[in-house]
Amino acid sequence: MDASPGGRIAGSCAVIVAATIIHIPIQKARSHALLLTERGDTARWLGDLAAAEKDLQKVIERTSDLIDPVPVRLNALNNLALVYHNAHRFAEAELLHREELSLSRKLYGDDHEEIFVSSINLAMVLNSLERASEARELLDDIAKRSERLLGAKHPTTLLALSEYAHSSILLSRAQEAIPILERTLASESDVRGERHYYTMRTAFLLFRALLLCGRRETARKVFEHCLRQLFSLPDTTLDQTTRELRTALSTMVEFREPSLGEQPKAGRNNPCPCGSGKKFKRCCGRS
């Protein structure tokens, strides 16, 4: 080996060139993975679950060989889990959310917003799998930690509280859910706006809890307000979940006002707007 200054400089240059040559394909692979993730999430937003699944599976396969795949892989795992949830493939969604949560803990630690969001997504799947007790326990912990770290009116805290109330409803504890949902709805209206999907979802959960507790007139007012907000939104601004919420609510003829005019008719086989993933007729549409 040449130990002279010229030799050392030449050696250093060779190392730099080699590192650059190696780094270029890694950058390209990461950029391609990001593009596929974005394309897959857009397909999910538009309701093309098959196209979304194809792109996101490619990302997960290709990021396994990257040196630092975690941020890209986390995105893909979360988005593919949401695709499976929308497709009622709950067991597969749970596995992906658990892998995502494990990777998030390695990257962020335990007290981080990403951990809270991943845990809430997992809890939503557990509710869909009829494991509401497990979901409620997880959400109770996440809501308290999120409030302590992020604040009582942070969107993540509000989402945890709303889903906690959903678990309570599924466990026949609707009376306990009502005050939580009322406070959460008021905060979400301020923070997110009345027309935001999660605000309207919380309003629907409140409607459902009130109905279960026999408070029919109050439930009607909540329902009518929610429906007015949904039908004031242009079709082009709706993602798949909001379209499903609007369609499911429009099936509930007994609560519709004539003044709302013509609304799309829908069968009772549509996904339930509470987010359980079950068909409306088998969930909140049961008589």
Q: What is the pLDDT of residues 190-213, one digit of tens each?
A: 999 888 888 988 998 998 899 899
pLDDT at 65: 62
pLDDT at 243: 62
Angstrom distances, CA of residue 274 to CA of 35, 78, 241: 31, 20, 10
Give the tens place of pLDDT for each residue, 87-102: 889 999 999 999 999 9
What does the pLDDT average to over 106-121?
A: 92
pLDDT at 107: 86
What does the pLDDT average to over 235-262?
A: 53
Lowest mean pLDDT among 53-62, 117-126, 158-167, 183-192: 53-62
Closest CA to 207 of 196, 195, 194, 223: 223
Q: Which two tokens stand for residue 101?
A: 């949560």
Give the tens place of pLDDT for each residue, 21-50: 334 354 665 676 667 777 766 766 677 778
Range with the largest mean pLDDT of 69-78, 156-165, 206-215, 276-285: 156-165
HSE of 166 in the Cβ direction (CA atoms, 13 Å)? Answer: 33
φ and ψ at residue 279, rounded to 5 degrees: -70, 145
pLDDT at 256 over 50: no
pLDDT at 51: 83
pLDDT at 125 over 80: yes
pLDDT at 12 over 50: no
Closest CA to 177 of 147, 225, 132, 122: 132
Closest CA to 78 of 138, 20, 121: 121
The whole-chain average pLDDT of the chain stands at: 77
What does the pLDDT average to over 250-278?
A: 51
